[in-house]
Amino acid sequence: MYSSELIKGTLKTIVLKQLENNNRMYGYEITQRVKELSLQRIHITEGALYPTLHSLETEGLVTTEIEYIGKRVRKYYRLNSKGKTAIDEKISELSDFMNTLQFLLDIKPQPQ
């Protein structure tokens, strides 16, 4: 499992990408999907996820929908057009950053 410090800097990008790939999702669904896709290496806590989702909503990158499941309220998040533009920019920036880290730390690509 990766440290929370490593995850924190990429959390918005991770969440936006999940919303891009899955149309609309609720918080717990995002955490489980990321855990599954990362082979249990990335665990997103509620304490990290919900402030991130609220921040993305405040920035105008996601929209929300409320749905009632029995007596429970479920809040779904969906990427909007501004968010679709932002995800491309964030992934490009992250890719460039990872390349820079590989160079600075003299990390050789690992064989798959």
Reported as a single tens digit per residue, the pLDDT across 82-101 is 999 999 999 999 999 999 99
pLDDT value of position 108: 84
Residue 66 has pLDDT above 90, yes or no: yes
Q: Report the candidate in 53, 39, 41 with the shortest Cα–Cα distance to residue 11.
A: 53
The tokens for 31 are 């955490």
- The mean per-residue pLDDT over the stretch 2-16 comes to 92
DSSP secondary structure of 80-112: -HHHHHHHHHHHHHHHHHHHHHHHHTTPPPPP-
pLDDT value of position 31: 97
Residue 111 has pLDDT above 80, yes or no: no
Q: pLDDT band for position 112 (50/70/90)?
A: low
Q: What is the mean pLDDT of the chain?
A: 94
pLDDT value of position 109: 75
User: What domains appear along the chain, each with residue ranges and CATH number?
Assistant: 4-104 (1.10.10.10)
The tokens for 35 are 């855990």
User: CA angle, 9 as apex, 73 and 98 as ends, to 5°?
Assistant: 130
Q: What's the predicted TM-score (pTM) here? A: 0.89
- The mean per-residue pLDDT over the stretch 2-29 comes to 94
Residue 74 has pLDDT above 90, yes or no: yes
